[in-house]
Structure 1
Amino acid sequence: MPISRIAVGTTEEALQPGALKAALAEFISTLIFVFAGQGSGMAYNKLTGDGAATPAGLISAALAHAFGLFVAVSVGANISGGHVNPAVTFGAFVGGNITLFRGLLYWVAQLAGSTVACLLLRFSTGGLATGSFGLTGISVWNGLVLEIVMTFGLVYTVYATAVDPKKGSLGTIAPIAIGFIVGANILVGGAFDGASMNPAVSFGPALVSWSWESHWVYWAGPLIGGGLAGVVYELIFISHSHEQLPTTDY
């Protein structure tokens, strides 16, 4: 079972050059992703004079996040695995594919990358506000379920296309598949809770704009969904295989 392969690791491991390089890659990839995704929302607000959300705005947000994540995962894949998301890292941890200490190092890098991206956006746009995630017309429990389901789909896609040792040539399209599922989920959940699926994506804007309303939803939902996806895929589709997981990806 996946739980038997969970590893804590050591503090020394987190300070090794390879781990630090991987963390730096996560920082840069997350910065690229959040700068593109959050920046597209800020540009939309500027062009519409902070007007009401429209279907066109939702589509543009989905495309920006899909394209940005495709690139962010691609450029980090060979160094850190291209997690770009604490929920993906958590899903990898509960599946036994990354140690706790290395995972925590990734979390710090991802949160820092998101925060720096939002600070750069605020500076480079002349002080425009970074948007923060919030619920629209739904309860916190509705939002929690949305985040769980959407993040489950995301992390399940990561496992199927990037982690599964039987992926074969499918691994070459992993970044675009991951980007596509995020874009599709934004079309589903964007109008209700912003469709974060990523605690780092929510944390940076919340910190820079100092807006924490219902913020716990954007941590609990993705971590629950990502953890469930990691356990389900490992338990049902990987753990009964005689093939070993690749050690270079995660």
Structure 2
Amino acid sequence: MAKIALGNHSEAAQPDCVRAVLAEVVLTFLFVFAGVGSAMAAGKMSGGGDTIMALTAIAMAHTLVVAVMIAAGLHISGGHLNPAVTLGLAVGGHITLIRSILYIFAQMVGSAFACLLLKYLTGGLETPVHTLASGTDAFQGILMEIVLTFSLLFTVYATIVDPKKRVTGGLGPVLVGLVVGANILAGGPFSGASMNPARSFGPALAAWNWTDHWVYWVGPLIGGSLAGFVYENVFTVPSSHAPLPRDDEGF
């Protein structure tokens, strides 16, 4: 079953919570600045056309910045950067709902500041928004975002959250960054491969273009929540489990 914890309103005033929320503002700002900035740079250099080189450059930029920002914030806030990650971890009981709300607000603020600053620094260039590609309807877009975000959260749980993980200390954020980049290559030409409502929110606000925007909340939040529920209830080994010899020997 889900392990959702409500938390207490006094949590918002605790110093560690305040630091964590501020960290989410900063981390999400830096993530979105590099991610959206790379999309704007790729669009400018390719003449506004969609090319495999531009898609690859955007995927690589997101891979790098996600890995670095998660690693930078892991010891402060957990380095969520993403409402879908926050909700997915809340479903597993790893963060209270009170703190989750604060994190999500912080992530949206960080994303908005990043995109507004990018618009100013680039001389008014439009921030590229996530919209569904021609031939992709809303249901297909939502399903694509569910699958991509499930992949992201499953990786977060398996390589960072799970105490039984076999991944060494700093490798988890790198692997999460890699799956983000791979998902952009797979889903970018269809749904935009957001996986992150905050990542979609900032550009939509700066461009004031809300076309299909709801898709990038519904899909990722369902995918993240589903991944948290499935991992916690199917793949998490109870603490009372004594590993069999084969568990430590590998294949």
Same fold? TM cut 0.5: yes
Matched with 2:236 is: 238
Query: Which letter maps to 1:63?
Result: M
Matched with 2:247 is: none
Q: Determine what percentage of the aligned residue pairs are the same residue.
A: 54
Query: Which letter maps to 1:82?
Result: G
1:48 maps onto 2:46 in alignment? yes
* Structure with max Cα Rg: 2
> For 2:45 and 2:167, how far apart are their aligned partners in 1?
42
Unaligned runs of 5+ in 1: 244-250
1:99 maps onto 2:96 in alignment? yes
1:199 maps onto 2:197 in alignment? yes
1:74 maps onto 2:71 in alignment? yes
Matched with 1:212 is: 210
Query: Which letter maps to 2:64?
Result: F
Shift, 1:44, TM fit: 1.5
Give 1:109-188 correspondences, 5 Å limit.
109-137=106-134, 138-188=136-186
Is the 1:161–1:171 contact (alpha carbons within 8 Å) kept by the matching residues of 2? no
> For 2:108 and 2:13, how far apart are their aligned partners in 1?
18
Shift, 1:172, TM fit: 2.2
Shift, 1:49, TM fit: 2.7
In structure 2, relative to structure 1, the CA distance for the partners of 1:11 and 1:233 (3 Å cut) is same
Is the 2:43–2:54 contact (alpha carbons within 8 Å) kept by the matching residues of 1? no
Q: Which of residues 12, 27, 30 is equivalent to 2:28?
A: 30
Query: Which letter maps to 2:70?
Result: V
Q: Deviations over 1:84-108 (max 9, x none)?
A: 1000000000111110000001001
Matched with 1:246 is: none
TM-score w.r.t. length of structure 1: 0.93
Q: Deviations over 1:58-109 (max 9, x none)?
A: 1011001101101111111010011110000000001111100000010011
Is the 1:147–1:218 contact (alpha carbons within 8 Å) kept by the matching residues of 2? yes
Q: 138-147 or 123-132: which moved more?
A: 123-132
Query: Which letter maps to 2:203?
Result: P
Matched with 1:10 is: 8
Q: Secondary structure at the match of 2:210?
A: coil
| Aligned residue pairs, count | 240
Shift, 1:169, TM fit: 4.4
In structure 2, relative to structure 1, the CA distance for the partners of 1:146 and 1:169 (3 Å cut) is closer
Shift, 1:125, TM fit: 1.1
RMSD: 1.2
> For 1:102 and 1:16, how far apart are their aligned partners in 2?
11
Query: Which letter maps to 1:92?
Result: L
Q: 165-174 or 146-155: which moved more?
A: 165-174
> For 2:148 and 2:169, how far apart are their aligned partners in 1?
21
Q: Secondary structure at the match of 2:129?
A: coil
TM-score w.r.t. length of structure 2: 0.93
Shift, 1:208, TM fit: 1.0
Is the 2:59–2:184 contact (alpha carbons within 8 Å) kept by the matching residues of 1? yes
> For 1:20 and 1:239, how far apart are their aligned partners in 2?
32
> For 2:123 and 2:72, how far apart are their aligned partners in 1?
29
Query: Which letter maps to 1:53?
Result: D
Moved over 4 A (4+): none
Q: 57-66 or 230-239: which moved more?
A: 230-239
